[in-house]
Amino acid sequence: MKKQSFIFQPELSQNAITVLERRYLKRDTDGSILEQPSDMFKRVADTIAAAERLFDNTADTSGLSEQFYRMMAALEFLPNSPTLMNAGRELGQLSACFVLPVGDSMEEIFDAVKQTALIHKSGGGTGFSFSRLRPANDVVKSTTGVSSGPLSFMKVFDMATETIKQGGTRRGANMAILRIDHPDIMDFIICKADKKQLNNFNISVGITETFMEAVKHDEAYNLVNPRNGEAVATLNARDVFEKIVTQAWENGEPGIVFLDRLNRDNATPHIGEIESTNPCGEQPLLPYESCNLGSINLGKMVKEKTIDWDHLKDIIHLGVRFLDNVVEVNRYPLPEIAQMTMGNRKIGLGVMGWADMLIQLQIPYDTEEAIELAGNVMRFINDEAHEASRQLAVERGPFPNFAGSVFEQRGEAPIRNATVTTIAPTGTLSIIANASSGVEPLFAVSYTRQVMDDDILVEVHSIFEKTAKAQGFFSHELMAQIAVTGRARSNPGMPEDIQKIFATAHDISPEMHIRMQAAFQKYTDNAVSKTVNFSKTATVDDVARVYDLAWQLGCKGVTIYRDGSRDKQVLATGSVPDEAQPDEVQPDESKPAEAHNENAMQRPKRKRPKILKGYTHQMQTGCGPIYITINEDHEGLFELFTTMGKAGGCAASQNEAIGRLVSLAWRSGIEARNVITQLKGISCHSPSGFGKNKVLSCADAVAKAIEEHMAANGYGEVQKKYELVKGACPDCGGRMVHEGGCSVCKDCGYSDCA
């Protein structure tokens, strides 16, 4: 690539700037921002280019640093978030995710808990297989007691994550996998059914080819105790499969992972067996491996309605070099991780902006032409990425575990990285790049966003707006009309060919979603993170057909989302159902709603009735008694007031502020448990009480009062309407979008998958 000056400035959207300022740019101890986006890109470019001197201490890295800078500043390639956040800074932890082993002893389990905490503290997510743990009620010889089983220990990991995630710029997230033949599999399948536990976990069932064949032939299969390898029971495979499908239909989990396929593509079987993936499922890893990912923005690879293959090749080769350098300069949170990662040097070059590329090429997402092009594009990326890795092996040597690898067994040329390509969800990165996420379709072509003073702004996809203006059908009224659903299709205000090209997630049939995933998977070393979207009216059989199709087409896993099935979504877009279900709140049609999830609308703030019912709770704090009044409307928790028994001045004003903010949060759709999580445990200089009655501060008292109120009024047992209308971003109240197994806020970049 031609050497160019560092003065090139990135062209960033306002959303991108907001995300960078909130989560990525360096700050001082007072929280003041110390760098501009261009400074961040230069910091990262200099740090990653400096790895060249580890192989040649006389190397001049300035030219390569400029290439890295331009590639990122032009939004043509971005590494995973920890690299942008931490490269060139004190922490220096650049990996997005890790897999840790969980052994079948108390010592091994709690070693893994400790290691998890260290990883989450450094900004990474973790994947686990709990399949080695003996089942519940199995014998424990050392104590002559019985085992509590994998699920009980998953809760320990979940609580550790809940504690650690309160600070930092990235939340910890986990993946839990249990083999289909584990004796506790039925409990695992339904472990997130009540939505009140394991909220820091994605869960997936590890499915084997043997099991799928048993499903196909309606046969029984064995459950095997991992303690001794003995079969302890049998289940009908089809019954178990139907339970997985039904539960996924209910709330999107569990997903499924095809374990045999992960190990079929395990490049280093002599080093270990793949048991788990990272939290979003796209990166199978050996125990103690980390993933180092980056994505090419395919929307930037189109010139004059044609793919610029030469430029794409340049970015592929530069991206592979960048990611291999990341492996080298990374500061790993554990020595075991450093050893395993350096031994295999796995990288994951992927893509974002696939929907943008199709739109520019005027190819509808849900067509045979798009499926064929997906295979051609990913095959080109995979081939060139492997060639780039082989060139690096000539310069630097192959990955240390190359001897005995499948590459050597097949007589192939040495390669620098055991795996090279991965397609990850690029939720936050795609906001920075102003690109569509991963290989997903658009989530909306137009949507509304509520800003200060309740103003409603209509935001339009940039290519859609340019197309509308060029073809003469743009109007602010039409854009606002489209924003009600986010969808261009079936809209009489625009040409039919435009409706076809601008497909959104719910315009695409589930079968086409999975076929697109399979097309990319065919030419991807690791796996493909993608959400298969279903309408709210989809049946359990519809989900079963997609799971079966994923197996037939060679996918390595499946994540599905049925509209409205998870409580993290607010109101689905589209027309209001003919008959509202008892647990639904219909939107106020007199004012625009805010696009929130994939084609979902944010619930407008509730207006205060003249009369509300409530209760006042007295809590004892170190500053005296505090009286906390909690009022409800017909939907649930509505507002909170505080009165201090003897304190005035600053203490009273701070408590009034807490009450106002809690009230605003509830009226804006933020769930009560998120409020409790933010306030509970805050301590001050003067706590009160002991044991379970200890109150650490006024904020802690408010959290405990809310808990008391919910317990006394049936919120823990009977989900009230308000508690089911959820989904507002807990950081900014913005719109959350389901993609790649994650929920990502498109306004501030918050993600529930680390």
> For 426-432, what is the mean pLDDT?
92
Largest CA distance in the chain: 81
Peptide bond into 254 cis (omega under 30): yes
Phi, psi of 275 (to 5 degrees): -110, -25
Are residues 86 and 101 both part of a single domain?
Answer: no
Label residue 3 by pLDDT band (50, 70, 90): very low
Listed ranges 35-39, 116-120, 197-201; the one with the highest mean pLDDT: 35-39
Structure tokens at 404: 């005995």
Among the candidates 429, 461, 484, a domain finishes at: 429
pLDDT of residue 6: 60
Are residues 88 and 42 both part of a single domain?
Answer: yes
pLDDT, tens only, 658-673: 999 999 888 877 888 8
DSSP symbol at 602:
E
Please report the DSSP string for 368-435 in residue order. Answer: HHHHHHHHHHHHHHHHHHHHHHHHHHHHH---GGGTTSHHHHTTPPP-S-S--B-B---HHHHHHHT-
pLDDT of residue 451: 53
Which one of 66, 76, 253, 282 is the catalytic residue? 282
- Own/partner contacts of 697-702, CB < 8 Å, gap of 24 or more, are 697/621, 697/622, 698/621, 698/623, 698/626, 698/642, 698/644, 698/651, 698/654, 698/655, 698/658, 699/658, 701/619, 701/621, 701/626, 701/628, 702/626, 702/628, 702/640, 702/642, 702/655, 702/658, 702/659, 702/662
∠ Cα 737 72 7 (to 5°): 130
Residue 504 domain-assigned (yes or no):
no
Are residues 76 and 114 both part of a single domain?
Answer: no
Are residues 173 and 84 both part of a single domain?
Answer: no
Q: Where are the beta strands (DSSP E) in 8-159?
A: 77-79, 97-100, 125-129, 139-140, 145-146
- Whether 278 is catalytic is yes
pLDDT, tens only, 472-484: 988 888 888 888 8
Residue 202 domain-assigned (yes or no):
yes
> For 178-185, what is the mean pLDDT?
98
Are residues 381 and 420 both part of a single domain?
Answer: yes
pLDDT of residue 578: 33
Average pLDDT, the chain: 87
Are residues 309 and 366 both part of a single domain?
Answer: yes
Structure tokens at 620: 């004892």
Label residue 743 by pLDDT band (50, 70, 90): confident
Label residue 220 by pLDDT band (50, 70, 90): very high
C-alpha to C-alpha distance for 43 and 318, rounded to whole angstroms: 17
Among the candidates 226, 243, 277, a domain finishes at: 277
> For 411-440, what is the mean pLDDT?
95
Are residues 127 and 247 both part of a single domain?
Answer: yes
- Whether 191 is catalytic is no
**Whether residue 606 has pLDDT greater than 50:** yes
pLDDT of residue 233: 97
C-alpha to C-alpha distance for 347 and 324, rounded to whole angstroms: 7
> For 688-714, what is the mean pLDDT?
86
pTM of the predicted protein model = 0.80
pLDDT of residue 140: 84
pLDDT of residue 572: 33
Residue 439 domain-assigned (yes or no):
no
Pairwise pLDDT comparison (533 vs 455), residue with the higher score: 533
Which one of 97, 191, 280, 555 is the catalytic residue? 280
Pairwise pLDDT comparison (299 vs 31), residue with the higher score: 299
pLDDT of residue 170: 55
- How many CB atoms lie under 10 A from the CB of residue 473? 14
Pairwise pLDDT comparison (56 vs 578), residue with the higher score: 56
pLDDT of residue 744: 78
pLDDT of residue 577: 34
**Whether residue 447 has pLDDT greater than 60:** yes
pLDDT of residue 607: 78
> For 550-575, what is the mean pLDDT?
72
pLDDT of residue 457: 72
For helices 209-216 and 237-251, angle between their N-to-C axes, nearest 10 degrees: 100
CATH of the domain at 149: 3.20.70.20
- CA dihedral 498→502→506→510, nearest 10 degrees, is 100
Are residues 248 and 319 both part of a single domain?
Answer: no
Give whole-number Cα distances, 493 to 444, 473, 489, in Å. 17, 7, 10
Number of helices (H), then strands (E), in the chain: 25, 29
Query: What b-and-e string marks burial along 354-363, b requiring 16 or more CB atoms within 10 Å of the CB?
Result: bbbbbbbeeb
Which one of 86, 278, 325, 631 is the catalytic residue? 278
Residue 440 domain-assigned (yes or no):
no
C-alpha to C-alpha distance for 576 and 591, rounded to whole angstroms: 14
Pairwise pLDDT comparison (108 vs 141), residue with the higher score: 108
Residue 521 domain-assigned (yes or no):
no
In DSSP terms, 643 is beta-bridged to: 627
Label residue 493 by pLDDT band (50, 70, 90): confident
Label residue 427 by pLDDT band (50, 70, 90): confident
**Whether residue 726 has pLDDT greater than 70:** no
Label residue 644 by pLDDT band (50, 70, 90): confident
Residues 6+ apart with CB under 8 A from 430: 352, 353, 436, 437, 438
Are residues 103 and 229 both part of a single domain?
Answer: yes
Residue 735 domain-assigned (yes or no):
no
Listed ranges 3-7, 145-149, 495-499, 622-626; the one with the highest mean pLDDT: 495-499
Residue 496 domain-assigned (yes or no):
no
Pairwise pLDDT comparison (479 vs 325), residue with the higher score: 325
> For 550-555, what is the mean pLDDT?
97
pLDDT, tens only, 32-83: 999 999 999 999 999 999 999 999 999 999 999 999 999 999 999 999 999 9
Q: Are strands 600-602 and 624-633 parallel, antiparallel or unpaired?
A: unpaired
Pairwise pLDDT comparison (581 vs 454), residue with the higher score: 454
Residue 490 domain-assigned (yes or no):
no
C-alpha to C-alpha distance for 2 and 60, rounded to whole angstroms: 16
**Whether residue 558 has pLDDT greater than 70:** yes
In the chain, pLDDT over 70 holds for what percent of residues?
87
Label residue 584 by pLDDT band (50, 70, 90): very low
pLDDT of residue 716: 54
Label residue 226 by pLDDT band (50, 70, 90): very high
Report the domain count for the chain.
Answer: 3
- Domain residue limits at 161: 97-277
Among the candidates 395, 429, 463, a domain finishes at: 429
Are residues 261 and 308 both part of a single domain?
Answer: no
pLDDT of residue 431: 92
Are residues 150 and 221 both part of a single domain?
Answer: yes
Are residues 256 and 131 both part of a single domain?
Answer: yes
